């Protein structure tokens, strides 16, 4: 017959087995702790990245709206050709200079907030940055290259805010080119 003490009796483990079990338990606890620290560090980095993105791209909608104002300034400046400016009164010249100065100031303010124009100086069409609105005679340019920028495109940070509206050179044989991405 067994007494109550005998039911709870566990034979003593060998000292080496007990030490090995404790070491394994400690290693497992250390591994869990390192994983928890790594996860906490990853969450901190992700939160910082999200915060930076939110602050950098928070003005996207506002910047897109302001670009319409910048376009109107550009149209106003282009509406008066350089040869016509020579015949303007001093007051009218001052107005034009004021419009130009205001446009420069607006573009500089946009640039301070990470909004910058898309560079089209290399003449290569990139469907990720440009929107082809027409194919025109190449005027000596290779097929598919940019002939004219109709509307300047802009980036905010490294993201596309508005594609540049461009005309591209068509193939000389009269067949169109594929400008889709």
Q: DSSP of 81-98, one letter per residue? A: -HHHHTTS-HHHHHHHHH
| pLDDT at 50 exceeding the cut of 80 | yes
Q: Give the Å distances, CA to CA, from 81 to 46, 77, 84, 104.
A: 52, 8, 5, 18
Q: How many residues does the chain have?
A: 181
Structure tokens at 129: 């940055």
User: How far is 149 from 147, CA to CA, in rounded Å?
Assistant: 7
Q: Are 181 and 140 in contact (CB under 8 A)?
A: no
H/E segment holding residue 73: helix 60-78
H/E segment holding residue 148: strand 146-151
- CATH homologous superfamily of 116-181: Head domain of nucleotide exchange factor GrpE (2.30.22.10)
Higher pLDDT, 55 or 17: 17
Q: At 8, is the pLDDT very low, low, confident or very high (cuts 50, 70, 90)?
A: low
Q: pLDDT tens digit string along 111-158?
A: 998 999 999 988 899 999 999 999 999 878 888 899 999 999 999 988
The ranges assigned to domains in the chain are 13-58, 59-113, 116-181
Q: Give the Å distances, CA to CA, from 176 to 116, 142, 150.
A: 31, 13, 19
pTM of this prediction?
A: 0.65
Q: What strand order describes the sheet that includes 164-169?
A: 130-136, 164-169, 146-151
Residue with tokens 């560090």: 41
Q: Parallel, antiparallel, or unpaired for β 164-169 and 130-136?
A: parallel
Q: At 59, is the pLDDT very low, low, confident or very high (cuts 50, 70, 90)?
A: confident
């Amino acid at each position: 017959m067994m007494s109550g003490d005998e039911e709870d009796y566990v034979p003593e483990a060998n000292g080496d087995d007990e030490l090995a079990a404790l070491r394994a338990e400690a290693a497992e606890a250390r591994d869990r702790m390192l994983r928890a620290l790594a996860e906490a560090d990853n969450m901190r980095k992700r939160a910082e990245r999200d915060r930076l993105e939110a602050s950098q791209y928070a003005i996207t909608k506002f910047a897109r709206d302001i670009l319409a104002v910048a376009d109107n300034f550009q149209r106003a400046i282009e509406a008066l050709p350089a040869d016509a400016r020579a015949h303007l009164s001093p007051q009218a010249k001052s107005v034009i200079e004021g419009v130009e100065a205001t446009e420069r100031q607006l573009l500089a303010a946009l640039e301070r907030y990470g909004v910058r124009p898309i560079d089209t100086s290399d003449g290569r069409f990139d469907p990720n940055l440009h929107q082809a609105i027409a194919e025109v005679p190449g005027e000596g340019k290779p097929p598919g290259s940019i002939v004219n920028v109709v509307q300047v495109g802009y980036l905010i940070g490294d993201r596309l805010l508005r594609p540049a509206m461009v005309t591209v050179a068509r193939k000389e044989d009269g067949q169109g080119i594929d400008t889709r991405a």
